[in-house]
Structure 1
Amino acid sequence: MSTTGTRTESPSALRTATGGEATRWLAAHCRAVPWLTAATLLTTVAGAALQVLPVLLLGQVVDGVVDGESRAVLVRVGALMVAAALLGAAATAASTYLIGRLGAGLLATLREGAVRAVLGMPSARLEQVGRGDVLSRVGDDVAVLSRGIRSAIPTVFSAGVLVAIATVGMFGLDWRLGLAGAGALPAYALALRWYLPRSAPLYRKQRTAQADRAQALISGLNGIDTVRAYRLEDAFREKVDAESWRVRDLGIEVFRFFGRFVGRENRAEFIGLVLILLVGYALLEGDAATLGEVSAAPLMFHRLFTPLGAIMFTFDEAQKSGASLTRLVGVLGEDAEDRLVGDASVTAAQDVPYPVTVRGLTFGYPDTDEPVLYDVSLTIPAGGSLALVGATGAGKSTLAALIAGIGTPQSGSVRIGPTDLADLDEAGARALVSILTQETHVFSGPLADDLRLAAPEASDAELLAALRTAGAGEWVQGLPEGLRTAVGEGGERLDVTKVAQIALARLVLARSPVVVLDESTAEAGSEGAAELERAVLAACAGRTTLFVAHRLTQAMAADRIAVLDAGRVVEQGSHQELVALGGRYARLWRAWREGS
């Protein structure tokens, strides 16, 4: 994929679309609902025209008074003004409603498309970009765009149409008065020309900084126990502080920048009003225009102040929405080859454990100078277990992801039994290896449907057996409708321990011969963690298992332990052997025991 002009972040970030791409996406969406789009445009134009009409009629009233018109004529014009005001209010209300409907459909389509695109990406791509970038797009950017669609975008659109109609109305009074009012347009254009090219990159930069801050928080909190054990609290706090200050500084820069833009817009308004008053006075003195026309012109121009002010004071939010739109549309445009392959190219023998062999593994991310892992070699016997321990940033999760088939090493290999994972697509790797992280999720709907995501053909008896293995049998039996009980959003509320047990039950149902658990019990409290650790051992019984251990009690239960430091395996052995060795693991064990 060519990324020229489309990506402003580092190569590891998700793609950001250009303004042109976002505009084309919007146009395509509007073409998909032609009647709604046409009705929105017609009511918006009608509402703007009817708001301008009373000002034009007011000029006729002034001329009627000057010319001595009868009271009936003035009453008729007054009635037209009232009718125009009422119809204008109705048309504006209809326009606001239709814009909301059009925007809601747009947001729903975009949100569903972005989530579908993220879910369809290979895990390696998601690991590369980081959870902060992904979550900020399908979470924060959707929220920003939602606020914009509800308020800023309808305001800017309606006000823009009103400005255009009012400008045409000024020329309808007298072309010279129209030209005088148009004299402000170069000042407006210069202000916008100065603002627009600078604001969009600034808002994108702000959104990227917010994503980086989210990533810093997530990465630190995911491994908070390890951070504490290695006394890395200060380093973690400094990193989060640095990212937070960066977000704050960009917020101040955005505010100051917008203030300068408002000043330029006020100067444009001043120029236009002065020109209209001077030209109107000259025309009136030369009998080239009526008093009604000259009186209506400044009122018409002043009528522009409200929509222009609305545009200015909501343009900040509209620009944020635009920046979020380009980020979401960019997700839709990720490479086609970045989609999951649908068919597994290998079928694993059920209930037969496979050994895991890692040889000379070296891996680095595309945007980093140094590898994350250096010449790592490990062996997990068939049906055995290995725990990875080490400080945050040591490479534990990266190694776990590679063993799960997420990503391809620069050198070395990962073999599951006789199969090199590099020879498989991701669907094939999933047939051999299941990975479970602490970021588990319960989907909205019946519990049975949630569990059958891992085994679509499983019977109710098999589902209940998997839940009992995961330690969830008792509370599931107490649910109002058992397996038919709705869970997730709008359903039964589940705490983090129950959510983790459901994830473990899915792991049991998947029946892959190799299991990778990356801090899968980190979110539970002490009591819940002990319960989950017992459930993990039951769920993984007879299967080859790799643990990324955030609690050393979990590491102690593994057959062997590997200690990672700066991407290298520095110690291997059983818990007793490593404690007796008196090295890094022994120090970590002492720190853990003292902290507990």
Structure 2
Amino acid sequence: MSTTDTRVAPATLRTATGGEAAGWVVAHCRRAPWLTASTLLTTVAGAVLQVLPVLLLSQVVDGVTEGGSRSVLVTVGALMVAAALLGAVATAVSTYLIGRLGADLLARLREGAVRAVLGMPSARVEQVGRGDVLSRVGDDVAVLSKGIRSAIPTVFSAGVLVVIATAGMFGLDWRLGLAGAGALPAYGLALRWYLPRSAPLYRKQRAAQADRAQALISGLNGIGTVRAYRLEEAVREKVTRESWRVRDLGVDVFRFFGRFVGRENRAEFIGLVLIVVVGYALLEADAASLGEVSAAPLMFHRLFTPLGAIMFTFDEAQKSGASLTRLVGVLGEPAEERLVGDVSVAPAGAGPYPVTVEGLTFGYPDTEEPVLRDVNLSIPAGGSLALVGATGAGKSTLAALIAGIGTPQSGSVRIGPHDLAGLDEAGARVLVSILTQETHVFSGSLADDLRLAAPGAGDAELMEALRTVGAGEWAELLTDGLHTTVGEGGERLDVTKVAQIALARLVLGRAPVVVLDESTAEAGSEGAAELERAVLAACSGRTTLYVAHRLTQAMAADRIAVLSAGRVVEEGTHGELVALGGQYARLWRAWREGS
């Protein structure tokens, strides 16, 4: 990790401009030229065939008033029916192709966004907060997926139909076309009022949802500490405050859209009145036929349905657009050139390394006061240290810095002879493995999931790692053993089994230093006891730092350090700190009472 770059990164992930998002869509449409061309052709054909019956109706009216032959009228009627049927088929095919093209684009965007997040420096992920990251690769993908299935095909097809129907009115009579076009300024003014205000409002709504997610995640991650320090009310108030902000913005969006609909309705009224008045004048002056004058209001009325569809789905389309800009923005985030290290870099048989923290001070760019101040700690090779303290004391920040995530403003973190400030992220991962509460099981076989930590490991090595963490028995009972599909669409695993898989990856990774940040917090009391045994087994022979969620885990560590306001205020064994009667002793009493 470099210490020479002094630029301050923004506290949220990048959001692309509308032009950048549109450019990304166009570029990826060019990668599927046949599908894109087929989508455009069927959409235009469907729109033309929907408008054609109205144009033919003018000929029927003129044929009847002028006494035309019956055979001509029958032929025109047959053409109208055929056009209507073919139009329905073309529209259905167009809708399918738009959805297919949109799904392909979404798949590429989702893969790119996930790849970009995985490629980000861990310090960047910590800086922006997990809520922002998760809302982009989770909520934004879901919103865009819903929009691609419904709103975006509707808006696109309806937009093409509006253009074709407008051209059809000019085809009847250019003066009737101009009369209908008289509504365009009203439509333009409505859109000019709506568009500049809507996108920022929807982005603000999505950002508020991300803040709410971050508040929930923060509270749930430290739920044990929250309970021990009686902070439930403060956390509840924060979550409630963020939830009310999301609700208020939702109400604002609904009211705003209602005002837009009113402006659109006025534009429709203006256009219809102009067509009726101009048509009447043309008919009185014998400057247009009855069929043309009769068909023009119907043609303009034909616009009501697609325009209404655009209006009533534009809300969803705008949400999709806001999510698109957020996802495309993620693609522009800088990534580490090399994120995956090789465990062979660590000297074979070197054994565990000691950890030394000297004069460490660290603060986030958007905060005035440092989170950590002049912290000094040491963990002997093969020893263990537990960090305890109230929420906000700096435990997770210190753990992240010891894991090589971020660079302190002053001071150093050394793993054996290595100063982490001089290593890239791959080098840090060779020396230190970090396991947090947010463990994941990826869709695929259990073996593939475990090999994320050791790609070259054989089945026997994988099973031995599972047995080490107490997961061998249930893994052997799976239908296909290590080759059983787990994760989404596969075998359902409870939180204890998920944590055991993460610990098995830790065993396979073989890093000499291990950092565990509340890694057993989500399990129930029975599962937590089982996991604490698994943690001890996984960390055997390694230097270990615990961010202790359960004080029973802190008791098992060789030493305990108590953090308060970014400083180490107490350090010693469990017995020494209880006898001292300070902060740890009070925390221990609160924990026993809560348990």
| TM-score, normalised relative to structure 1 | 0.97
Describe how 1:38-437 pairs up with structure 2 within 5 A. Answer: 38-336=37-335, 338-343=336-341, 347-350=346-349, 352-437=351-436
SS at the partner of 1:32? Answer: coil
Q: Deviations over 1:362-390 (max 9, x none)?
A: 11111222211111110111111000011
SS at the partner of 2:365? Answer: coil
Q: Deviations over 1:503-522 (max 9, x none)?
A: 11111111111000000101
Q: Quick one: distance in 1 between partners of 2:338 and 2:125?
A: 12
Q: Quick one: distance in 2 between partners of 1:323 and 1:250?
A: 15
Q: 2:383·2:542 contact (CA, 8 Å) conserved in 1?
A: yes
Q: 1:200·1:319 contact (CA, 8 Å) conserved in 2?
A: yes
Which stretch shows the higher mean deviation, 260-269 or 487-496? 487-496
Q: Quick one: distance in 2 between partners of 1:229 and 1:556?
A: 16
Residue 366 of structure 1 aligns with an amino acid whose one-letter code is: P
Q: Quick one: distance in 1 between partners of 2:292 and 2:489?
A: 61
Q: 1:121·1:339 contact (CA, 8 Å) conserved in 2?
A: no
Residue 32 of structure 2 aligns with an amino acid whose one-letter code is: V
* Alignment-derived partner of residue 519 in structure 2: 520
Q: Quick one: distance in 2 between partners of 1:237 and 1:186?
A: 50
Shift of 1:340: 4.0
* Alignment-derived partner of residue 11 in structure 1: 10
Residue 211 of structure 2 aligns with an amino acid whose one-letter code is: D
* Alignment-derived partner of residue 5 in structure 1: none
Q: Quick one: distance in 2 between partners of 1:476 and 1:277?
A: 76
Residue 171 of structure 2 aligns with an amino acid whose one-letter code is: G
Q: 1:258·1:316 contact (CA, 8 Å) conserved in 2?
A: yes
Matching of residue 453 in structure 1 with residue 449 in structure 2: no
Q: Quick one: distance in 1 between partners of 2:350 and 2:419?
A: 20
Q: Quick one: distance in 1 between partners of 2:372 and 2:124?
A: 18
What is the percent sequence identity of the aligned residues?
Answer: 86
* Alignment-derived partner of residue 3 in structure 2: none
Q: 2:444·2:487 contact (CA, 8 Å) conserved in 1?
A: yes
Which stretch shows the higher mean deviation, 64-73 or 319-328? 64-73
Shift of 1:457: 2.0
Q: 1:348·1:432 contact (CA, 8 Å) conserved in 2?
A: no
Q: 1:438·1:518 contact (CA, 8 Å) conserved in 2?
A: yes
Name stretches of at least 5 consecutive residues in structure 1 with no aligned partner: 1-9
How big is the alpha-carbon RMSD for the aligned residues of Structure 1 and Structure 2?
Answer: 1.2
Q: Quick one: distance in 1 between partners of 2:301 and 2:448?
A: 61
Residue 270 of structure 1 aligns with an amino acid whose one-letter code is: F
SS at the partner of 2:30? Answer: helix
Q: Quick one: distance in 1 between partners of 2:497 and 2:229?
A: 30
SS at the partner of 2:385? Answer: strand
* Alignment-derived partner of residue 4 in structure 1: none
Shift of 1:490: 2.2
Name stretches of at least 5 consecutive residues in structure 2 with no aligned partner: 1-8
Matching of residue 577 in structure 1 with residue 585 in structure 2: no
Q: Quick one: distance in 2 between partners of 1:340 and 1:195?
A: 45
Shift of 1:350: 4.0
Residue 491 of structure 1 aligns with an amino acid whose one-letter code is: G
Q: 2:341·2:429 contact (CA, 8 Å) conserved in 1?
A: no
Residue 486 of structure 1 aligns with an amino acid whose one-letter code is: T
Q: 1:454·1:510 contact (CA, 8 Å) conserved in 2?
A: yes
Q: 2:357·2:376 contact (CA, 8 Å) conserved in 1?
A: yes
| TM-score, normalised relative to structure 2 | 0.97
Matching of residue 511 in structure 1 with residue 510 in structure 2: yes
Shift of 1:351: 5.6
Which stretch shows the higher mean deviation, 422-431 or 340-349? 340-349
Q: 1:347·1:428 contact (CA, 8 Å) conserved in 2?
A: no
Which stretch shows the higher mean deviation, 290-299 or 366-375? 366-375
Residue 591 of structure 1 aligns with an amino acid whose one-letter code is: A
Residue 38 of structure 1 aligns with an amino acid whose one-letter code is: A
Q: Quick one: distance in 1 between partners of 2:186 and 2:483?
A: 65
Q: Deviations over 1:243-271 (max 9, x none)?
A: 00110010001001000100000010011
* Alignment-derived partner of residue 471 in structure 2: 472
* Alignment-derived partner of residue 31 in structure 2: 32
